[in-house]
Amino acid sequence: MADRHLTAPQIRARKGGDRLVSVTCYDATFARLVDAAGVDVVLVGDSLGMVVQGHDSTLPVTLEDVIYHTRAVSRGLARAHLVADLPFLTYQIDDREALRNAGRLVVEGRAQSVKLEGGVRSATAIRRIVEAGIPVMGHIGLTPQSIHQFGGFKVQGRAEAAAEALMVDARAVQEAGAYAIVLESVPGKLARRITEELQIPTIGIGASAACDGQVLVLYDLLGMDPDFNPKFLKKYDDLATRIRDAVSNYGREVRDGTFPDDAHSFHCD
């Protein structure tokens, strides 16, 4: 798999060059489509807890869930780099456990790298995983596994002290050996400062065009949820309406007997 796919060193080398395009993905069918669309980095995010499983946060997602979805996505990719999220409490307890769980995402899930949340507080776990040969993507700013600490999904780093703390976090992630870092929901000015200072690519979500790349949750950019409209999100389609229309047209034709018609039925020789 690694031969045909973009590697972590290749993604790191894109710093300051062609912008990185990343989306989340959770199954093989969508994986084939996003890979064919030229996406560079496919993330099996723990956002699957919200958009696939219907939870109101990412906290209930298990390592088994991410392994299952990562293996499915791996079957659909030909070129994109595959990164999988370490869920809540799979890397915070101790660094040995973090390494063991990262290893499971790579061996059982067939991920090429792993992502975990946190700056200074996660630096020793990042180092331990990287030293074992597994590339790590960092994630700072609005880290959804800490929503209860933040008091909700809120922009981070607005005040000067909070911005300075995020600068320290960004440096810690880089120094620990991460090959890239997600900046989520931070002001554009801070994203620019972090991007200019770090030697690894920054991948933004709600962090302005100053970053070296962008990531969006696939279901969000496709417009699957009409009620989810945060400021940072641009919807590139309205699949909620299109899927509802397609399925209701199917239902109408089943009810009135026009489906299946002759063209969709089998005939004797």
**Residue 212 makes contact with ligand KIV by CB under 6 A:** no
Q: Which is nearer to ligand KIV, 230 or 251 (CB)?
A: 230
Stretch that binds ligand KIV, among 41-49, 190-198, 233-241, 261-269 (CB under 6 A): 41-49
Q: What is the DSSP letter of 51?
A: H
Residue 220 C-beta: closest distance to ligand KIV, Å: 9
Catalytic residue among 97, 164, 175, 184: 184
- Of these, 21, 47, 90, 166, which contacts ligand KIV (CB under 6 A)? 47
Strands (E), the chain: 20-24, 41-44, 81-85, 113-115, 136-141, 180-184, 202-205, 213-216
**Residue 182 makes contact with ligand KIV by CB under 6 A:** yes
**Residue 215 makes contact with ligand KIV by CB under 6 A:** yes
**Cα 239 to Cα 224: distance, rounded to the nearest angstrom:** 5
**Residue 205 makes contact with ligand KIV by CB under 6 A:** yes
Stretch that binds ligand KIV, among 3-11, 42-50, 105-113, 224-232 (CB under 6 A): 42-50
CB neighbours of residue 211 within 10 Å: 24
Stretch that binds ligand KIV, among 25-33, 43-51, 93-101, 148-156 (CB under 6 A): 43-51
Q: Which of 117, 88, 86, 116 is nearest to 104 (CA)?
A: 86
* Amino acid, res. 230: P
Helix axes of 188-197 and 160-175: crossing angle, nearest 10 degrees: 30
- Please give the size of the binding site for ligand KIV, defined by CB under 6 A: 12
State yes or no: is 184 an active-site residue.
yes
Q: What is the DSSP letter of 183?
A: E
Q: Which is nearer to ligand KIV, 236 or 250 (CB)?
A: 236
Residue 51 C-beta: closest distance to ligand KIV, Å: 8
Mention every residue, 6+ apart, whose C-beta is less than 8 A from residue 229.
Answer: none
3-state SS class at 57: coil
Residue 110 C-beta: closest distance to ligand KIV, Å: 18
Q: Which is nearer to ligand KIV, 123 or 205 (CB)?
A: 205
**Residue 45 makes contact with ligand KIV by CB under 6 A:** yes
**Cα 202 to Cα 178: distance, rounded to the nearest angstrom:** 11
**Cα 264 to Cα 224: distance, rounded to the nearest angstrom:** 29
User: Which residues of this chain interact with ligand KIV, rule CB under 6 A?
Assistant: 24, 43, 45-47, 85, 139, 182, 184, 205, 215, 217
Catalytic residues: 184
